[in-house]
Amino acid sequence: MRERIKEKLGPKIKEWHEHSARRIYFTVDKKDIFETVRFIFRELGMRFSTASGSDTPDSFEILYHFSNDSSGEFYSVRVFIEDKANPEIDSITPLFPGAEWIEREIWEMLGIKFKGHPNLKRLLLADEWPEGEYPLRHKNES
Amino acid sequence: MSFKIKALTKSIWVFHVSAGSCNNCDIEILDCLTPRFDLERFGIQLIGSVRHADALLITGAMSKKSVPRMKKIYEQAPKPCVVIAVGTCACSQHMFKDSYNVDQPLDKILPVDLYIPGCPPKPEAMIAGIVKLVTKLREKI
């Protein structure tokens, strides 16, 4: 499986890290994320587990976790979004609806805009929560 | 009122609300209904609509989104209705005291009759709590 990924994505992979035999992380550019996810999901047939977003000092980081159920391996695709003032990334919801809610959650918690998301509206926060306030950004730490 | 309370203590129908819980308390509540503890032999059962409920059983730390919904649910419950807070989150907000998404503990929002602390509380603790509540209600009659 890793050969097929390396062969297909080739130079798009910026960094490859094997944390253990079954836990693999690799970084791609944010403009390549849709194509990468499409390849892993459609062609390799891996299951989308979830995505996780975090606020790091230099950028926002999103990890898309994919499980290869036949071998028990976990592949996490890492993306950095450097533009912290106006973070944007392509939505992967058009590929599979399972990503819709997690993208909505990342959007409301971190303020990362998903381009092409069909239904980007509030999911978990209260109805009267102020617009433009993102609770999981570091400046809101108490 | 005392007749209604007497009837209520005979077989308590419980409506379960999760107001931002982590699901752990909810799993323990289900454990109470399994054959090992079998609360149904006392007539206690979970029901699907709050309009039939004698007791409102609340888990979770009351997230801001759930507060107005929680009030609406309480308004729909037939009175007298006892309110049971299960788990430390519902009793006292626990570790979510300073969270961005929580501002009031449950007992500032609704009149709570019974607190069952624990993270999560054991089924035994819940049964002991319910026995105490029923004893107390019967003394009132």
Please work out, in degrees rounded to the nearest 5, the angle formed at the alpha carbon of residue B23 by the alpha carbons of B18 and A120: 75
CA distance linking residue B12 with residue B83, whole number of Å: 12
The tens digit of pLDDT for each residue in A45-56 reads: 899 999 999 998
Tokens of B122: 């054991």
What are the residue ranges of helices labelled H in chain A? 2-9, 33-38, 100-110
This model of the complex carries an ipTM of 0.72
The tens digit of pLDDT for each residue in A86-122 reads: 899 999 999 999 999 999 999 999 999 999 989 888 8
What count of other Cβ atoms lies within 10 Å of the Cβ of residue A88?
12
CATH number at residue B114: 3.40.50.12280
Q: Mutate which of B18, B63, B65 to disrupt the A interface (most A C-beta within 10 Å)?
A: B65
Considering only alpha carbons, which residue of chain A is nearest residue B67? A126
Domain count, chain B: 1
Domain range enclosing B83: 2-140
Considering only alpha carbons, which residue of chain A is nearest residue B103? A126
Domain range enclosing A56: 2-133
CATH number at residue A6: 3.30.460.80
8 Å CB contact of B65 and A126? yes
8 Å CB contact of B101 and A125? yes
- Give B71-120 as a DSSP string: HHHHHHSPSS-EEEEESHHHHH-GGGTT-TTB-S-HHHHS---EEE-SSS
Judged by CB atoms within 8 Å, which residues 85-124 of A form the interface with B? Answer: 124
* A140: Cβ contacts below 8 Å, ≥ 6 apart: A133, A134, B100
Which residues in B lie closer than 8 A to residue A140 (C-beta atoms)? 100
Question: Does residue A45 fall inside a structural domain?
Answer: yes
CA distance linking residue A49 with residue A75, whole number of Å: 10
Under 8 Å CB pairs connecting chains A and B tally to 19
Residues of B with a Cβ under 8 Å from any A Cβ are: 63-65, 67-68, 98, 100-101
pLDDT in tens, chain B (141 residues): 578 888 888 888 999 999 988 999 999 999 998 999 988 888 888 999 999 999 999 999 988 989 999 999 999 999 889 999 999 999 988 888 888 888 888 888 999 999 999 999 999 999 999 999 888 888 876
Q: What is the pTM of this model?
A: 0.82
Question: Does residue A141 fall inside a structural domain?
Answer: no
Residue-level length of chain B: 141
The tens digit of pLDDT for each residue in B9-48 reads: 888 899 999 998 899 999 999 999 899 998 888 888 899 9
> Touching check for A20 and chain B: CB below 8 Å?
no
Q: Which residue has the tokens 């805009």?
A: A113
What one-letter code names the amino acid at A58? D
Question: Does residue A34 fall inside a structural domain?
Answer: yes
CA distance linking residue B87 with residue B29, whole number of Å: 10
Question: Does residue A142 fall inside a structural domain?
Answer: no
